[in-house]
Amino acid sequence: MIDTDGYRMNVGIILTNLKRQVLWAKRIKQNAWQFPQGGIKAHETPMRAMYRELYEELGLNSKHVEVLGMTHRWLRYRLPSHLIRHYQRPLCIGQKQVWYMLRLSSPENIITMNATEHPEFDKWQWVEYWHPLNEVIYFKKNVYEQALKELHPLISRIKKRRLSYKLAQVPEYAL
């Protein structure tokens, strides 16, 4: 779904473990690593899109994770001009994303890259929290930095106490 400003609505997923590491995934047949993410369909809320993408890309569902929190506003990035498909309508100039931080609450061997017919990733690994900023493609770096900074307090409390997801804390746009 593309908004009136030309931004494709999207969700990003930062999946953590008890060691405060994040899941970093490699695009299939490419040497490009990123967090799982994907578009929001017309009939979906961002949260529903997040769970759909979580299943499609990692084979996980709501029973396998705990939602720790999310960004409180849309984070945007523009595509470089050579990646904009000027012949398509509506024209997409970039993405606006809601980022979710999840904690894996199941054994990691449940993660699978081939839950669907068209997998997007062929490998994953746990990395230190700030590691993605050194590897993400340049035009997404600012959004990654914003999401990681905003959500960082959530990961720093993982071992101190069990965080619970409170619907009252979710911004209205995300429901």
Structure tokens, 30:
């490419």
Q: Which residues, other chains included, contact 162 with Cβ-Cβ below 8 Å and sequence gap of 6+? A: none
Extended beta strands in 133-174, E state: none
pLDDT computed for residue 169 by the predictor? 52
Residues 33-66 have pLDDT tens digits of: 999 999 999 999 999 999 999 999 999 999 999 9
The type of residue at 150 is E
Q: What is the pLDDT of residues 112-156, one digit of tens each?
A: 999 999 999 999 999 999 999 999 999 999 999 999 999 999 988
The answer to whether 38 and 52 are in contact (CB under 8 A) is yes
Give how far the C-alpha of residue 49 lies from the chain's centroid of Cα atoms, to the nearest Å.
10
pLDDT at 170: 52
| Ramachandran quadrant class, 110 (left: phi over 0; alpha: psi -120 to 50; beta: rest) | alpha
* Domains of the chain: residue spans and CATH: 7-160 (3.90.79.10)
Provide the pLDDT for residue 47: 97
